[in-house]
Structure 1
């Protein structure tokens, strides 16, 4: 999981470095998603853009540390899908934190025209969070099936020849 998170962060940071160096302010039109350089001093949807950079960095670092601690604990017993989801969230969070630490802003480069400009780290975080929700939902459903199965096995056997199921006539 740590290697996957590091790979997500490395790919995003490389893309951000490329965007800062080679992507012009006018961008590149590609169709549904264009490449356009932008900077976000806040967090998702520019929330906190007016807050001091040190505060935004401190809050995002705290959240990233919490995600890392949760991922560390989940690594021992989590399934593949859950670990992949955590790697995506952690890798994206680390990449955005590292980018923000340099100058107080996050570099964005993916633009749709109908959604705020974003980056691969943002995509990894959202995809990972959705995958975590799906794995939690599937895990809850499997647990409920297991609980029903355990309850059925624990109940006394029923005699099918009797209408009441107790063997009396």
Structure 2
């Protein structure tokens, strides 16, 4: 393994970890602000969507909401851990777009997992009226998957002279 490959592996993994932690923190700060400002049941109309506090005790689209919160937490933790291991092993071979997608996906998954740990469910607050209420972490997960797919579809970069 060349020194360049090792450096790229470390850089890619460091970027993935730090960016994911930063995005998860951003998600948790926004959720905290929503809980503090909207706990009284108010709704803020922002045109395309409303801000409305909702606790989702299940997973996507409230699936599993009848299960014990700790079953949902444990299952979510196993899934997020599996995604994290896969991404940390794979990211050195990713192009920039896929690396960003991996970080965004993992950040969203971590944000929702951490939010779920108190047993109350995930704080959702983006309400459209025509789609289930969701949050910034959900946007990160979906956007991250989209960026990963676009990165896979993108043709590989041409080697630079001297590589």
Give the TM-score normalised by the residue count of structure 1: 0.79
- Deviations for 1:97-123, whole angstroms, at most 9, x for unmatched residues? 000001240001111111111100000
- Does the Cα contact within 8 Å between 1:28 and 1:34 map onto a contact in 2? yes
SS of the residue 2:43 aligns to: coil
SS of the residue 1:103 aligns to: coil
Distance 1:104 1:33 in 2: 24
Matches within 5 A, 1:74-153: 74-138=90-154
Pick from 22, 38, 53 the counterpart of residue 37 of structure 2: 22
- Does the Cα contact within 8 Å between 1:74 and 1:83 map onto a contact in 2? no
SS of the residue 2:117 aligns to: helix
SS of the residue 1:81 aligns to: helix
Greater relative contact order, per chain length (Cα 8 Å cut-off, separation 6+)? 2
Q: How far apart are residue 58 of structure 1 and its match? A: 0.8
Length, aligned pairs only: 140
Pick from 51, 59, 64 the counterpart of residue 48 of structure 1: 64
Q: How far apart are residue 75 of structure 1 and its match? A: 2.5
Distance 1:6 1:57 in 2: 19
Distance 1:80 1:74 in 2: 13
List gaps (5 residues or longer) in structure 1: 143-169
- Does the Cα contact within 8 Å between 2:83 and 2:106 map onto a contact in 1? yes
Q: Which residue of 1 aligns with 2:18?
A: 3
Distance 2:89 2:100 in 1: 14
Distance 1:137 1:52 in 2: 40
- Does the Cα contact within 8 Å between 1:57 and 1:104 map onto a contact in 2? no
Q: How far apart are residue 67 of structure 1 and its match? A: 1.0
Distance 1:74 1:93 in 2: 17
Distance 2:73 2:120 in 1: 7
The structure with more radius of gyration: 1
Give the TM-score normalised by the residue count of structure 2: 0.81
SS of the residue 2:144 aligns to: helix
- How big is the alpha-carbon RMSD for the aligned residues of Structure 1 and Structure 2? 1.2
